């Protein structure tokens, strides 16, 4: 049976409201368990027949045995529909697609710095939990995460109770764009916050967020002495097939769906700046 | 050894093949010649050098079903579309279009193999036809294509009132098995000589493609002349739809009333919504979209395919662009070492 563009069935077994425009959907195979195995940073095509199909990063870590989660921001036809459905709804899913973060190779043994903005935490969430579940394989771990407001911080309960727990041996630094009642944490944009935290340029960095944030984070890191071979990101482009054939996510001689979505910044330097 | 058939007995051959296989050939309909299914009533036009659309649709149809869904409450039933299982013959393919199949193979037969395309390739026999009179818009010679002796399962030549056949593959041997042996192959040799002479005189027959390769990717991309070249491009996508090698596709859902039909269809990187996402598009003006189409054919594709260009020089885009902006302009304007 054709399988690379034919989806399989999934069922939504839990829906969590994270922020005013982000929900996290738990997806399992119809007879239970994960629809497929994946690695952190990989994506899946989710569709609602009649509405459309779109690519989403897999938010949960591969170490989660029974399901996969997707944090989805409401911003288009498919995501709008997903946000309005109820638990028990079947959807279609295919994947996993793309090159993951090199968690078992280049990242192993390194001191890690995760930098995320808004829903950009979603793809890094998978890596962070993978690192947490294999904590002794990695060195120091810092997470810098910012959003527009405290309501827009994704996964706040998990961040506070798990990632910030001393047992996790991870340092979490949160920031929001503007002053807000009930917020006594840091206020300011992510790139400046990273500079204030004054990291030594010996970390391996994973960054994901709005393009403008990524741009200024990269400038900040360069100022701090980091080089591009130390910094990874994950890209988002329109996709239809997920297997490098439909042509939509083509940048230079790469296809983001199969050659990415994870790229190191020195690799991006070799591509036209068309993303 | 070649086989032969008087040209006026070709319908007889088609009739015989049609008993077991579908025959696709250049057929005139509504004033246009395109590849279509041959029937007794068809107006066969083997004299037409270029069909309006290329032959790629035989393997990569303009629209094809992928899967159907039935929805009931919260439940979904998935019904994948069947892949082709019947044999067919595509007859009268020119050398340029025949090369395009090899280029499409690079995309659709690379891992993971596209099952719909693979099934069509498996079941299709390609019968090519030498171009007796290549036109001014032809420039296949730049890409190592021989219009006088095109590749395919079977190669044909029409010399006077006789059509000659040469089988090149197992499929080709099966196709020509029942035909009479050619008494004299010299008319074919004569014809090939004539064609080669015409090919030598083509105005765009010897373009300089130096510098169009992966090693000069950024240089070609950053050339300041793209905006000038793209000026006037309407973004109509005609070039894409007549192009034998354009293979980008869209996937869409249609509510039939009783189920959801998910199909794929040809798409164009020239369209403004091709890369449009919720937060915008990475190719905001026609200049970027225009550049993408030509960079893909002349730089990105060869970079990934041992220098093979994703252009076969059929010249359809030269003829059909309403603004006369086409790949020859691009090659001539951006080529390097012109004088070398």
Task: Compute the count of residue pairs across chains A and B with CB atoms less than 8 Å apart.
Answer: 124
The neighbouring-strand residues paired with B37 are: B24
Mean local confidence (pLDDT), B212-217? 93
Residue B114: list chain A partners with CB under 8 A.
4-5, 245
Q: Does the structure show a pLDDT above 70 at A1? A: no
Query: Domain residue spans in chain A?
Result: 8-97, 112-234
Span A210-262, pLDDT tens digits: 989 999 999 999 999 999 999 999 998 999 999 999 999 999 999 999 999 99
Contact: A4, B217; criterion CB under 8 Å: no
Q: Which of A8, A27, A247 to mutate to test the interface with B (most CBs of B within 10 A)?
A: A247
Axis crossing angle, helix A211-223 with helix A190-197, rounded to the nearest 10: 20
Q: How far B234 CA sits from the closest chain A CA (Å)?
A: 20
Span B216-234, pLDDT tens digits: 999 999 999 999 999 999 9
Assign domain A112-234 one CATH number from 3.10.150.10, 3.40.190.10, 3.40.50.80, 3.30.980.10. 3.40.50.80
**Dist. CA A58–CA A100, nearest whole Å:** 11
Residue A79: list chain B partners with CB under 8 A.
278
ipTM value of the model?
A: 0.91
Query: Domain residue spans in chain B?
Result: 3-200, 214-334
Q: How far A218 CA sits from the closest chain B CA (Å)?
A: 19
Query: Among B53, B59, B141, B61, which residue's Cα sits nearest to residue B104?
Result: B59
Residue A243: list chain B partners with CB under 8 A.
112
Residue of A5, A88, A274 lying closest to B66 (CB–CB): A5
The hierarchical CATH code for the domain A8-97 is: 2.40.30.10
Contact: A245, B108; criterion CB under 8 Å: yes
| Nearest residue in chain A measured CA to CA from B252 | A52
**Dist. CA A7–CA A92, nearest whole Å:** 6
In angstroms, how far is CA A275 from the centroid of its own chain? 17
Q: What does pLDDT average to over chain B?
A: 95
| Nearest residue in chain B measured CA to CA from A269 | B218
Contact: B296, A91; criterion CB under 8 Å: no
* Cβ-based neighbour number of residue B272 at 10 Å: 13
Q: Which of B71, B74, B247 to mutate to test the interface with A (most CBs of A within 10 A)?
A: B74
- Asked if A16 contacts A76 with a C-beta cutoff of 8 angstroms, the reply is no
Residue B217: list chain A partners with CB under 8 A.
252-253, 270, 272
pLDDT at A4: 76
The confidence band for B143, taking pLDDT boundaries of 50, 70 and 90, is very high
């Amino acid at each position: 049976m054709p399988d690379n563009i034919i989806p399989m069935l999934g069922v939504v077994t839990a829906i969590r409201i994270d922020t005013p425009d982000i929900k996290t959907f738990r997806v399992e195979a119809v007879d239970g368990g994960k629809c497929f195995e994946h690695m952190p940073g990989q994506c899946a095509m989710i569709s609602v027949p009649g509405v459309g199909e779109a690519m989403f990063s897999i938010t949960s870590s591969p170490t989660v045995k029974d399901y996969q989660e997707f944090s989805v921001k409401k911003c288009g036809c498919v995501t709008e529909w997903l946000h309005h459905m109820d638990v028990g709804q079947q959807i279609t899913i295919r994947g996993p697609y793309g090159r993951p973060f090199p968690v078992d190779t280049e990242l192993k043994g390194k001191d890690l710095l995760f930098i995320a903005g808004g829903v950009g935490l979603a793809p890094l969430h998978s890596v962070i939990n993978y690192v947490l579940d294999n904590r002794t394989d990695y060195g120091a771990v810092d997470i810098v995460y910012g959003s527009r407001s405290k309501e827009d911080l994704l996964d706040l309960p998990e961040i506070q109770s798990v990632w910030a727990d001393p047992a996790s041996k991870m340092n979490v630094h949160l920031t929001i764009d503007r002053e807000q009642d009930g917020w006594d944490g840091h206020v300011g944009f992510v790139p400046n916050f990273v500079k204030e935290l004054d990291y030594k340029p010996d970390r391996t960095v994973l960054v994901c967020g709005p393009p403008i944030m990524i741009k200024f984070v990269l400038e900040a890191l360069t100022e701090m002495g980091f080089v591009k071979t130390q910094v990874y990101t994950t890209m988002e482009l329109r996709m239809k097939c997920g297997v490098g054939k439909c042509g939509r996510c083509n940048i230079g001689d790469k296809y983001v769906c199969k050659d990415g979505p994870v790229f190191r910044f020195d690799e991006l330097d070799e591509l036209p700046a068309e993303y | 050894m070649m086989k032969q058939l008087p040209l006026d007995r070709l319908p007889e051959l088609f009739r015989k093949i049609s008993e077991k296989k579908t025959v696709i050939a250049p057929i005139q309909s509504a004033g246009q010649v395109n590849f279509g299914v041959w029937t007794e009533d068809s107006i066969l036009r083997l004299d037409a050098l270029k069909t309006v659309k290329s032959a790629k649709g035989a393997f990569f149809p303009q629209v094809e079903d992928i899967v159907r869904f039935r929805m009931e409450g919260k439940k979904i039933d998935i019904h994948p579309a069947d892949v082709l299982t019947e044999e067919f013959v595509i007859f009268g393919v020119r050398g340029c279009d025949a090369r395009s199949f090899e280029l499409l193979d690079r995309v659709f037969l690379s891992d993971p193999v596209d099952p719909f395309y693979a099934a069509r390739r498996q079941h299709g026999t390609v019968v090519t036809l030498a171009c007796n009179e290549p036109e001014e818009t032809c420039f296949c010679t730049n890409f190592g294509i021989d219009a006088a002796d095109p590749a395919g399962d079977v190669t044909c030549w029409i010399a006077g009132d006789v059509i000659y056949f040469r089988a090149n593959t197992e499929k080709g041997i099966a196709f020509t098995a029942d035909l009479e042996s050619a008494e004299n192959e010299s008319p074919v040799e004569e014809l090939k000589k004539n064609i080669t002479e015409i090919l030598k005189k083509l105005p765009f027959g010897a373009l300089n493609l130096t510098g169009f390769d992966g090693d000069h990717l950024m240089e070609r991309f950053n050339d300041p002349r793209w905006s000038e070249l793209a000026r006037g491009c309407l973004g109509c996508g005609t070039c894409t739809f007549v192009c034998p090698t354009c293979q980008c596709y869209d996937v869409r859902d249609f509510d039939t009333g009783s189920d959801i039909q998910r199909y794929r269809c040809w798409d164009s990187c020239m369209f403004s919504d091709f890369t449009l996402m919720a937060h915008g598009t990475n190719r905001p003006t026609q200049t970027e979209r225009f550049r993408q189409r030509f960079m893909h054919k002349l730089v990105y594709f060869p970079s990934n395919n041992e220098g093979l260009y994703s252009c076969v020089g059929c010249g359809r885009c030269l003829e059909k662009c309403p603004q006369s902006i086409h790949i020859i302009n691009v090659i001539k304007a951006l080529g390097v070492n012109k004088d070398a």
